[in-house]
Chain A
Amino acid sequence: MGGRAVSTATGSSAEATRDIEPGVRSALASFLALNAEGRLAAEYPVVRRLVAGLDGEELLTAGRLLSRLDPEDVLREHPATPAVSVAITGHGTLSMLVAPLTAQLARHGVLLRPTVGNYDGYVFELSEPGAGATEADLALCVLDPMVVFDEIPVPWRPQDVEQKLAEKVALIEGLTARFTAAARGPLVLNTMPLPRRFTAQLIDHRSRARLGAAWREANARLLRLGTEHSGVVVIDLDPLLAEGVAAYEPRVGVYARAHLSPDLLAAYAREVSHLARNRVGRTKKVLALDLDETLWGGILGDDGVDGIEVAGTFRGEAFKAVQKAAKQFGSQGVLLAAVSKNEAATVSRALREHPEMTLREEDFVRVTANWEPKHENLARLARALNVGVDSFVFADDSAFECGLVRRELPEVAVIHLDGDPAEHVGRLLADGWFDVPELTAEDRTRTEKYRGELVRSDFQHSFDSIEDYLRELDVSVRLSAVEADDVARVSQLTLRTNQFNLTTERLAPAEVQALADDPRSLVLAVRSSDRFGDNGLVGALLAHREADGLHIDNFVLSCRVFSRGIEQACLATVLEHARDTGAGAVFGTYRRSAKNGIVADLFPRFGFHRIGADDAADQPDVAAYRHDLATKLESPSHIRLTVELERQSA
Chain B
Amino acid sequence: MKDVNDLIGMLRDQLGLPVTAEDAARHLDQVPGWDSVHVLWLVTVLERDAGRRVSLADLLEATSIQEIYELAAA
Contacts and interface: CB of A to CB of B under 8 A. Distances in A.
Contacts of B14: 61, 64
A12 interface: no
Interface residues of B, number: 16
A635 to B, nearest CB: 58
B16 A96 contact: no
A183 B56 CA distance: 39
A95 B60 contact: no
A27 to B, nearest CB: 15
Interface in A26-75: 32, 35-36, 61, 64-65, 67-68
Contacts of A67: 16
A95 B33 contact: no
Contacts of B16: 35, 64-65, 67-68
A256 B17 CA distance: 20
A255 interface: yes
Most B CB atoms within 10 A — which of A64, A95, A251, A255? A255
A255 B58 CA distance: 10
B13 A32 contact: yes
Given A36-B13, A65-B16, A68-B16, A255 B41 contact: no
B37 interface: yes
A567 B26 CA distance: 66
For the residues of A in contact with B, the DSSP-based class is helix
- Which one of B35, B40, B56 has the greatest number of beta carbons of chain A within 10 Å? B40
B35 to A, nearest CB: 7
A68 B33 contact: yes
Interface in B4-57: 13-17, 33, 35-37, 40-41, 43-44, 56-57
Nearest to A36: B13
A96 B36 CA distance: 10
Interface residues of A, number: 18
B29 to A, nearest CB: 17
B13 A255 contact: no
A35 B16 CA distance: 8
Contacts of B40: 95-96, 252, 256, 258, 262
Interface string A95-139: 110110000000000000000000000000000000000000000
A36 B14 CA distance: 11
Contacts of B15: 64-65
B66 to A, nearest CB: 21
A256 B37 CA distance: 9
Interface in A253-312: 255-256, 258, 262
A255 B57 contact: yes
Contacts of B33: 68
Contacts of A98: 37
Interface of A: 32, 35-36, 61, 64-65, 67-68, 95-96, 98-99, 251-252, 255-256, 258, 262
Interface of B: 13-17, 33, 35-37, 40-41, 43-44, 56-57, 60
20 contacts: A35-B13, A35-B16, A64-B14, A64-B15, A67-B16, A68-B16, A68-B17, A68-B33, A95-B35, A95-B40, A96-B37, A96-B40, A96-B41, A98-B37, A251-B57, A252-B56, A256-B36, A256-B56, A262-B40, A262-B44
